[in-house]
Amino acid sequence: MKRVRRRTRDWTMVVGLIIAVLALVSAVLAPWLAPSNPYEQTDVLATRFLPPFSTGPDGVTHWFGTDRFGRDVLSRLLYGAQISLTVGLLSVAISTLLGLGVGISAAVFGGRLDRILMAVTDAALALPRLVLLLALVAIFNPSLWLVVVVLGCTGWMPVARLSRAEIRSMLSRPFVVAARGYGLSTWRLITRHLLPNTLTPVLVAGALAVGNAITLESGLAFLGLGVPPPAPSWGSMIAGGRDALVFAPWIAVFPGVAIAMMVLACNLIGDGLRDWLDPQSR
């Protein structure tokens, strides 16, 4: 029974990894894989709204059809993976670093600093993240890097809570007490003993957060407040296809499937990592 369960868990993680690798490959190799230029608009009237598997006047086959400006949907999807992965990975890296900083200093130094930092964390957690993002976007002009920074700066709270809880539970454990008894400096205690032991839950949370960040990035783009057009963000592709749902549903359908797949992959990898790195939950 246990062995069977373990197998299925491994199997789901493999599915997640396959999707993630596919996305990574299509992002990196987009310039070579894409059948046509994702930005180029040639003869718009002749090339727009071509259904999937049709061949345009220039002889290029559009596997996923074309959008309202005659741009190849498949090529835009592949280039869109670049945006999704850049935003997802970089913003989570930023928020993980911020969260670890806040969580570790709250746990290690304790006292008043702990109370202040945790109050700020709770306050930031109480606001819908989208509202926070919108308020931030309202102030600056949207760009890819703004989206990365803003997502990074609004996602650190769960990491902070998580790492604080982990480290607090560790502070009274014998190996930390012993390390302190040896006269280890606080900095070395953190980098040598505390940080490595918090990495498992932080990695798991990070995998899940990447999926979340990808959803939010495309959501902002969908609202017209994210990475600005003509960049092929999956969210703005869906927004662009929304008016054409009646006669050209492929424009909006494919990017949505791509987002759902990416988030699924992140969730599967997160769950798999937890099982793999944390023997207790097996």
Partner 1 sequence: MQLRVIDKTAAVPPNATLDAPTPEVRLFHMLERVLSRCVTGALLVFAVVTFTFLLINLAPGDPARLWVGPGAGTAELEAARQALGLDRSLPVRYWSWLVRFVTGDWGTSLVQQRPVTGIIASALPHTILLSAGSLFITYIGSVLLGLFQAAHARGFWDRTLSALSLLAYGIPAYWLAAMLVMVFAYASARYGWPAVLRLPAMGASALDAEYLSPWGQVADRIRHLILPLTTLGVIGIAGTSRFVRGAVLDVTHQNHVAVARARGLRPWRVQGLYIMRNALVPIVTLMGLSLPALFSGTVFVEVVFALPGMGREIVSAVSSRDYPVVMATTAIFAALVVVGNLLADLFQGVLDPRVRQP
Of 249, 277, 281, 282, the one binding partner 1 (CB under 8 A) is 249
Of 35, 52, 101, 219, the one binding partner 1 (CB under 8 A) is 219
CA 262 to chain centre: 9
Is 259 a binding residue for partner 1 by CB under 8 A? The answer is yes
- Identify which of residues 190 and 252 has a Cβ nearer to partner 1 in the complex: 252
Please report where in the chains the tokens 């062995």 appear, as a residue: 3
- Distance, in Å, from the CA atom of 217 to the CA atom of 226, rounded to the nearest integer, reads 7
- Distance, in Å, from the CA atom of 49 to the CA atom of 70, rounded to the nearest integer, reads 7
Which helix H or strand E contains 54, and what residues bound it? Answer: strand 54-55
- Distance, in Å, from the CA atom of 150 to the CA atom of 156, rounded to the nearest integer, reads 11
Is 121 a binding residue for partner 1 by CB under 8 A? The answer is no
Q: Which of residues 3-32 bind partner 1 (CB under 8 A)?
A: 5, 8
Is 269 a binding residue for partner 1 by CB under 8 A? The answer is no
Is 218 a binding residue for partner 1 by CB under 8 A? The answer is yes
- Identify which of residues 128 and 279 has a Cβ nearer to partner 1 in the complex: 128
Q: Which of residues 137-156 bind partner 1 (CB under 8 A)?
A: 137-140
Is 127 a binding residue for partner 1 by CB under 8 A? The answer is yes
Q: How many residues bind partner 1 (CB under 8 A)?
A: 46
Q: Which two tokens stand for residue 73?
A: 């949907």
Q: What is the DSSP letter of 53?
A: T
- Identify which of residues 74 and 210 has a Cβ nearer to partner 1 in the complex: 210
Strand partners, 61: 55
Shortest Cβ distance from residue 108 to partner 1 (Å)? Answer: 25
Please report where in the chains the tokens 């980098």 appear, as a residue: 191
- On the 0-12 / 13-18 / 19+ scale of CB atoms within 10 A, 126 is exposed
**Residues 124, 253 contacting (CB under 8 angstroms):** no
Of 61, 229, 256, 276, the one binding partner 1 (CB under 8 A) is 256
Shortest Cβ distance from residue 122 to partner 1 (Å)? Answer: 8
State which amino acid sits at residue 103. G
Residues in contact with partner 1 by the rule CB under 8 A: 5, 8, 122-123, 125-131, 134-140, 211, 215, 218-219, 222-225, 235, 238, 241-242, 245-246, 249, 252-253, 255-256, 259-264, 266-268
